[in-house]
């Protein structure tokens, strides 16, 4: 783990209390200026959010600088002589901590930090993908086929733009792909209006809506929204970020509402425009500066009441009990601040104080009385050196390279242990120079240099440490590999491991070759074993006359097609099914009993394909009985299938028969194709189309004359 990632991890940890403190300060300040203008509250929320970003950047810079200072004073050691005493500078906050907290801090830095950085990086990547997807949708929307706005509307836009003091040109287009007005772009701003807005809003309402969008452009809200999204992405894990960001978006919309209201004489015009657009909205694109602020209906209601000068009574945001809780939370974050601030002290001073303390105790025991230069280096000692200096931290280098930490107690240097390092030395001599975790895993699996050499000879290649562990876990022996190679199966180590997992033996391979008449390859053997295809199953299916490649037999076994099932389907009356027929019949759940029941109810099929189609579209005896009850009997088999494909039900047939007694099966199918339902029939009668026939209904549906009336009825 590099120091950059460690610095990032500490930055994220410190950000937790920093963001909470900023959020609390923002809440108290927001309560103090609750009666001020909306712009002031917006600036306060923006400053709080930017303050979080600034705090994190400052913390990251400090952590990086601390590491550079530490490294500059950490190069303390002795050249020559076997044992040496090396002083490792530590931050004061860590040195003053008791032994257990210090070990906990070390564990956090070495073990937890990589996972913390990893999960943060995954979260940032996921949210970045979402943000890039939104940007792509905006870009695609901007370059899609847009219609020019009417000339009078563009003139009104320019008039409001100049009145608001916006010197840049603002383009205005119409789109059928959006349901509400929105603004995109920073350098070349573009306002998009839904086409439905031209018919649902009056000219006065359109002007005030355009004023709202122009307010976003004048305030550069699109730019601040991008920056806000970046902060949300970087600090997605902290609820305070999302809370302040939500308040920022609310205040942004309220600021634009105030500007829009100033351009019209009657606030009710703007309020009505908001409600009309909400009624027209069915799907909403959360892409940019939309008129509704990407907020819920409850927030929209509050905005409308505020515009009309009658804001609804808001519940108290901060009750006494919640205030006490927030103060307790702030106190909880402030308590560790002395230790945190103590760690900000200069590292060089601490290091020199520790060096002097350790030198004072160690120098009398040194066998070599050479002068100590520079002061930060202690003369080498030939024997284990006891260190007994309260509060001092030293690192002793043993002859075998091990680093021993001594802190406030006597800790002699251990002598080299050839017995303990013998396994590592032997594995290294065999060519396996890996990390400690790999050595432990190999030792647990009882992997020896001799086993590694045997596997190299058996496989013809030198396995890696991971390969050795996997081979040993699956009990792959050199004898097993030699036997499989003698049977004609050569492959890489992964193949041998997969075969061993599936318990594939040379005997099984020979039996399958005899049953199939050909020698399966490694992949086919594994697939056959996974699906439990046995030589006996292959022999029985071949004895019944079913031959094919191994993939066919695997598919038959996957669908649990047995020789008994094949014989039963052959007796249905359509001849002997093929392998593909058997697989399709089994997939759709066609059984001999199903075929016999269809025949008994008068539903005839011409082959296995009809049986499969009947099963797919749920042509059942119950469906036939329901159609007979509705007055449609003796329906041909093909027509039954066609009716089912179109979604005709017995209930639908009864309803049609009640209004059109002479309706045929073809009429039923035609009415269903054109979606002629009882509501459409009632609408036609209400408009005086009499006498009403099925053909007339079809013509009305094709012409679309009644569609607008149906849509209006649905909206109301």
The answer for residues whose C-beta is within 8 angstroms of residue 166's C-beta and 6 or more apart is 214, 217, 218
Q: What confidence tier does 325 reach under pLDDT thresholds 50, 70, 90?
A: low
State which of 36-50, 334-348, 355-369 shows the largest mean pLDDT: 36-50
Determine the pLDDT at residue 198.
Answer: 78
How distant, in Å, are the alpha carbons of 235, 515, 547, 553, 556 from that of 535? 60, 6, 14, 11, 14
> Using one digit for the tens of pLDDT, what is the confidence trace for 386-443?
444 444 444 444 444 444 444 444 444 444 444 445 888 899 999 899 888 888 889 8
Tell whether omega for the bond before 374 is within 30 degrees of 0, i.e. cis: yes
> Using one digit for the tens of pLDDT, what is the confidence trace for 584-619?
898 888 999 888 888 887 787 888 888 888 888 888
Determine the pLDDT at residue 86.
Answer: 44
**Mean pLDDT of the region 626-632:** 88
> Using one digit for the tens of pLDDT, what is the confidence trace for 678-701?
888 888 888 777 778 888 888 888
Q: How far apart are CA 337 and CA 601, in angstroms?
A: 84
Strand pairing report for 190-194 and 171-175: parallel
Residue 399, both tokens? 């002859």
> Using one digit for the tens of pLDDT, what is the confidence trace for 651-679?
999 988 888 888 898 888 888 888 888 88
Q: What confidence tier does 69 reach under pLDDT thresholds 50, 70, 90?
A: low
Determine the pLDDT at residue 391.
Answer: 43
Which long-range CB contacts under 8 A does 244-248 form with residues at least 24 apart?
A: 244/23, 244/26, 244/45, 244/48, 244/49, 244/52, 245/49, 247/30, 247/45, 248/42, 248/45, 248/46, 248/49
Which long-range CB contacts under 8 A does 547-555 form with residues at least 24 apart?
A: 548/579, 550/516, 550/520, 550/524, 552/579, 552/583, 553/516, 553/528, 554/527, 554/528, 555/579, 555/583
Determine the pLDDT at residue 338.
Answer: 53
Determine the pLDDT at residue 88.
Answer: 44
Q: How far apart are CA 340 and CA 62, in angstroms?
A: 12
Residue 232, both tokens? 């949300």
Residue of 5 and 228 predicted with greater confidence: 228
> Using one digit for the tens of pLDDT, what is the confidence trace for 352-378?
444 454 444 444 444 433 443 344 334
Q: Are 168 and 155 in contact (CB under 8 A)?
A: no
How distant, in Å, are the alpha carbons of 20, 27, 55 from that of 327? 11, 12, 21
Determine the pLDDT at residue 358.
Answer: 40
Tell whether omega for the bond before 691 is within 30 degrees of 0, i.e. cis: yes
Residue of 25 and 188 predicted with greater confidence: 25
**Mean pLDDT of the region 10-37:** 88
Determine the pLDDT at residue 75.
Answer: 45
> Using one digit for the tens of pLDDT, what is the confidence trace for 122-171?
989 998 888 888 788 777 777 775 777 888 888 888 888 888 888 888 88
pLDDT beyond 80 at 645 = yes
Q: How far apart are CA 64 and CA 10, in angstroms?
A: 10
Q: How far apart are CA 247 and CA 243, in angstroms?
A: 6
State which of 325-334, 336-345, 510-519 shows the largest mean pLDDT: 510-519
Average pLDDT, the chain: 75
Residue identified by tokens 């020559």 is: 80
pLDDT beyond 60 at 341 = no
Determine the pLDDT at residue 333.
Answer: 53
> Using one digit for the tens of pLDDT, what is the confidence trace for 236-288?
889 999 999 998 998 898 898 888 888 877 777 887 787 777 766 654 444 44
Q: How far apart are CA 624 and CA 613, in angstroms?
A: 15
Q: How far apart are CA 11 and CA 5, in angstroms?
A: 10
Q: What confidence tier does 485 reach under pLDDT thresholds 50, 70, 90?
A: confident
**Mean pLDDT of the region 641-646:** 85
Q: How far apart are CA 693 and CA 664, in angstroms?
A: 13
Determine the pLDDT at residue 242.
Answer: 92
pLDDT beyond 80 at 715 = no
**Torsional class of 542: left (φ above 0), alpha (ψ -120 to 50), beta (otherwise):** alpha
pLDDT beyond 80 at 339 = no
Residue 24, both tokens? 């609390």
Q: What confidence tier does 90 reach under pLDDT thresholds 50, 70, 90?
A: very low
pLDDT beyond 70 at 328 = no
Residue identified by tokens 């299938």 is: 641
Determine the pLDDT at residue 415.
Answer: 43
Q: What confidence tier does 520 reach under pLDDT thresholds 50, 70, 90?
A: confident
Tell me the percentage of the chain whose pLDDT exceeds 70: 72
Residue 175, both tokens? 């789109």
Provide the CB-side half-sphere exposure for 659 (13 A, CA). 21
Q: How far apart are CA 529 and CA 502, in angstroms?
A: 6
Best CA proximity match to 481, nearest among 497, 465, 469? 497
Residue 54, both tokens? 């600034």
pLDDT beyond 80 at 301 = no
User: What interhelical angle do 3-32 and 38-72 show, nearest 10?
Assistant: 150
Q: What confidence tier does 26 reach under pLDDT thresholds 50, 70, 90?
A: very high
Question: Using CA atoms in the order 475, 479, 485, 488, what is the torsion angle rounded to 10 degrees?
Answer: -90
Determine the pLDDT at residue 240.
Answer: 92
Determine the pLDDT at residue 327.
Answer: 59
Residue 289 CB coordination number (10 Å): 27
**Torsional class of 187: left (φ above 0), alpha (ψ -120 to 50), beta (otherwise):** alpha
Determine the pLDDT at residue 287.
Answer: 46
Determine the pLDDT at residue 401.
Answer: 44
Q: Which residues pair with 148 in a beta bridge?
A: 173
Domain ranges of the chain: 144-307, 417-501, 674-716
pLDDT beyond 70 at 331 = no
CATH topology of domain 144-307: Zincin-like (3.30.2010)
Worst-scoring range by mean pLDDT, 329-333, 505-509, 561-565, 655-659? 329-333
Determine the pLDDT at residue 66.
Answer: 76
| Residue 618 DSSP label | T
pLDDT beyond 70 at 209 = yes
Residue 704, both tokens? 């679309």
């Amino acid at each position: 783990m590099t120091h950059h990632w460690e610095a990032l991890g500490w930055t994220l940890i410190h950000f937790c209390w920093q963001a909470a403190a900023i959020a609390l300060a923002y809440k108290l300040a927001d309560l103090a200026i609750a009666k001020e203008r909306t712009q002031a509250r917006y600036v306060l929320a923006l400053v709080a959010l930017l303050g979080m970003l600034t705090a994190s950047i400052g913390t990251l810079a400090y952590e990086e600088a601390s590491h550079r200072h530490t490294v500059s004073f950490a190069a303390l050691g002795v050249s020559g002589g076997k044992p040496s005493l090396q002083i490792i500078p530590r931050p004061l906050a860590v040195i003053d901590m008791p032994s257990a907290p210090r070990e906990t801090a070390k564990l956090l830095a070495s073990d937890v930090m990589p996972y913390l950085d990893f999960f943060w990086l995954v979260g940032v990547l996921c949210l970045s993908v979402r943000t890039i997807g939104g940007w792509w949708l905006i870009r695609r929307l901007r370059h899609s086929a847009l219609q020019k706005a009417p000339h009078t509307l563009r003139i009104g836009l320019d008039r409001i733009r100049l009145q608001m003091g916006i010197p840049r040109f603002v383009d205005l287009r119409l789109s059928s792909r959006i349901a509400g007005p929105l603004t995109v772009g920073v350098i070349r701003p573009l306002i998009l209006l839904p086409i439905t807005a031209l018919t649902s809003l009056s000219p006065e309402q359109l002007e005030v809506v355009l004023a709202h969008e122009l307010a976003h452009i004048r305030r550069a809200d699109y730019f601040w929204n991008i920056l806000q999204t970046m902060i949300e992405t970087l600090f997605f894990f902290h609820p305070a970020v999302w809370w302040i960001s939500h308040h920022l978006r609310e205040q942004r919309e309220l600021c634009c509402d105030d500007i829009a209201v100033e351009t019209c004489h009657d606030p009710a015009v703007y309020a009505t425009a908001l409600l009309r657009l909400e009624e027209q909205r069915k799907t909403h694109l959360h892409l940019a500066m939309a008129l509704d602020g990407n907020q819920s209906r409850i927030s929209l209601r509050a905005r409308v009441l505020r515009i009309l000068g009658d804001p609804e009574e808001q519940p108290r945001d901060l009750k006494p009990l919640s205030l006490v809780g927030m103060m307790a939370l702030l106190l909880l974050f402030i308590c560790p601040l002395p230790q945190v601030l103590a760690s900000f002290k200069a590292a060089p001073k601490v290091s020199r104080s520790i060096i002097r303390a350790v030198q004072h105790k160690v120098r009398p025991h040194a066998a070599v009385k050479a002068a100590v230069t520079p002061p930060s280096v202690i003369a080498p000692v030939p024997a284990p050196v006891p260190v007994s200096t309260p509060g001092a931290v030293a690192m002793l280098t043993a002859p075998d390279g091990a680093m021993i930490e001594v802190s406030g107690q006597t800790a002699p240097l251990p002598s080299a242990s050839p017995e303990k390092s013998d396994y590592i030395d032997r594995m290294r001599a065999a060519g396996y120079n890996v990390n400690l975790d790999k050595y432990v895993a190999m030792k647990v699996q009882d992997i020896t240099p001799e086993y590694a050499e045997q596997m190299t000879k058996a496989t013809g290649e030198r396995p890696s440490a991971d390969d050795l562990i996997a081979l040993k876990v699956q009990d792959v022996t050199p004898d097993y590999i030699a036997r499989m190679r003698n049977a004609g199966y050569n492959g890489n180590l992964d193949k041998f491991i997969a075969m061993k997992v599936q318990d594939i033996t040379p005997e099984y391979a020979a039996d399958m070759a005899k049953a199939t008449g050909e020698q399966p390859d490694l992949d086919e053997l594994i697939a056959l074993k996974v699906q439990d295809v046995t030589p006996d199953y292959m022999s029985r299916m071949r004895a019944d006359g079913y031959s094919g490649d191994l993939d066919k037999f695997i598919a038959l076994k996957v669908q649990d097609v047995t020789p008994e099932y094949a014989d039963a389907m052959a007796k249905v009356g359509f001849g002997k099914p093929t392998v593909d027929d058997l697989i399709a019949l089994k997939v759709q759940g066609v059984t001999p009993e199903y075929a016999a029941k269809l025949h008994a109810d008068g539903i005839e099929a011409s082959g296995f394909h009809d049986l499969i189609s009947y099963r797919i579209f749920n042509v059942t005896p119950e469906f036939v009985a329901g159609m007979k009850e509705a007055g449609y009997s003796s329906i041909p088999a093909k027509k039954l299938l066609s009716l089912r494909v179109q979604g005709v039900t017995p209930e639908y047939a009864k309803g049609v028969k009640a209004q059109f007694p002479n309706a045929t099966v073809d009429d039923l199918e035609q009415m269903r194709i054109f979606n002629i339902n009882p509501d459409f029939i009632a609408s036609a009668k209400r408009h005086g189309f009499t006498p009403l026939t099925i053909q007339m209904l079809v013509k009305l549906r094709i012409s679309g004359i009644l569609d607008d009336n149906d849509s209006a009825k649905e909206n109301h």
